[in-house]
Amino acid sequence: MKKEQEILKENENIEIELFLQAIYMKFGYDFRNYGKAHIKRRVRHRLSVSGFNNISELIHKMLYDPVFYQEILQDLSITVTEMFRDPDFYISIRKEVVALLQTYPFLKIWHAGCATGEEVYSMAILLKEEGLLKRSQIYATDFNQIALQKARNGIYPIDRIKEYTQNYQKSGGKASFSDYYNARYESVILDESLKENIVFADHNLVTDGVFGEMNMIICRNVMIYFDKDLQNKVIKLFFDSLVPGGFLCLGSKESLRFGIHASKFDATIEKQKIYRKKFEI
């Protein structure tokens, strides 16, 4: 006979599958190929703060309470970010990639899974300092409408500014970080000039299609939450969305090395997970 612990684990797995299927059928968001460990952590957290006895109760509440569903969506979304996150990545962009980007008369850059926008504005600042922002169009996308609105607003807690300033300086910043924001009460508002070349848009990497003809795609620390099949699907989406020679920038814990599309890219800077779509496949 199965031990009680095994039965509980089996039941939880079944309930989580039903939970993800319910979200997909009712709301159209597909989390079924997200990493199971990530999903379990978030579901268990929601159970603990909501006081439900099991996932089945949570499913019922989600299906009939739109406000509660939005809380679930926030739980499952990936919104961990900061300005100039991983400064060495931005140094590599400045030293190794900018010179190639300067050869294009116009740049199209896609920040996929932009969350609340800090890394989008970081790239805008970098492009401005390298003389590229005025001939760039940045597309910042996410499926989380609440996070996307925060990104559009460009308003961030003032208590993060010390950390952001340090990141900016370590990333090779050429000015004073304070030039790019105004402080008001407990928040900072990023300079409006940084938004002029940014388009914020709803796009779901799991279910939506090609975002075409990009010179560079930045999707950092998003795919670590996906299983292998979904990672391969999204990499194919990025491949199809890049021009030949276009750059793909992933997060520090992500890699193309073991994926089925690895042969379609050259590792420009493997340490910083910066790849380039091959001109000929």
Q: Is residue 81 part of a domain?
A: no
H or E segment at 53?
A: none
144 and 219 together in one domain: yes
Confidence check: pLDDT of 77 > 90: no
Percent of the chain with pLDDT over 70: 99
Do β-strands 242-250 and 214-219 pair in parallel, antiparallel, or remain unpaired?
Answer: parallel
Mean pLDDT of the chain: 92
Do β-strands 136-142 and 198-202 pair in parallel, antiparallel, or remain unpaired?
Answer: parallel
CA 128 to CA 136: how far, in whole Å? 10
CA 175 to CA 153: how far, in whole Å? 23
The CATH number given to whatever domain includes residue 213 is 3.40.50.150
Interval 23-52 mean pLDDT: 89
Which of 45, 76, 107 is a domain's end point?
A: 76
CA 266 to CA 102: how far, in whole Å? 20
Interval 188-210 mean pLDDT: 92
CA 207 to chain centre: 15
Q: How are the residues of the chain apportioned to helix, strand and coil, as percentages rounded to the nearest 5?
A: 50, 20, 30
Interval 235-247 mean pLDDT: 96
Interval 225-254 mean pLDDT: 93
What are the structure tokens assigned to 98, written together? 């900018």
Domain count of the chain? 2
154 and 127 together in one domain: yes
| Burial profile 70-100: b = 16 or more Cβ within 10 angstroms, e = fewer | eebbeebbbeebebbbbbebbbbbbeebbee
209 and 249 together in one domain: yes
Q: Is residue 198 part of a domain?
A: yes
Contact in structure between 82 and 47 (CB atoms under 8 Å): no
18 and 126 together in one domain: no
15 and 57 together in one domain: yes
Q: Is residue 149 part of a domain?
A: yes
Which pLDDT tens digit goes with each residue over 265-274? 999 999 999 9
Interval 136-142 mean pLDDT: 96
118 and 228 together in one domain: yes
Which of 28, 43, 76 is a domain's end point?
A: 76
108 and 27 together in one domain: no
105 and 13 together in one domain: no
Q: Is residue 21 part of a domain?
A: yes
Interval 2-10 mean pLDDT: 74
Query: Domain containing 165: what range?
Result: 87-277
Which of 44, 76, 108 is a domain's end point?
A: 76
Contact in structure between 219 and 188 (CB atoms under 8 Å): no
Q: Is residue 100 part of a domain?
A: yes
30 and 91 together in one domain: no
DSSP calls for 209-247? ----SEEEEEE-SSGGGB-HHHHHHHHHHHHHHEEEEEE
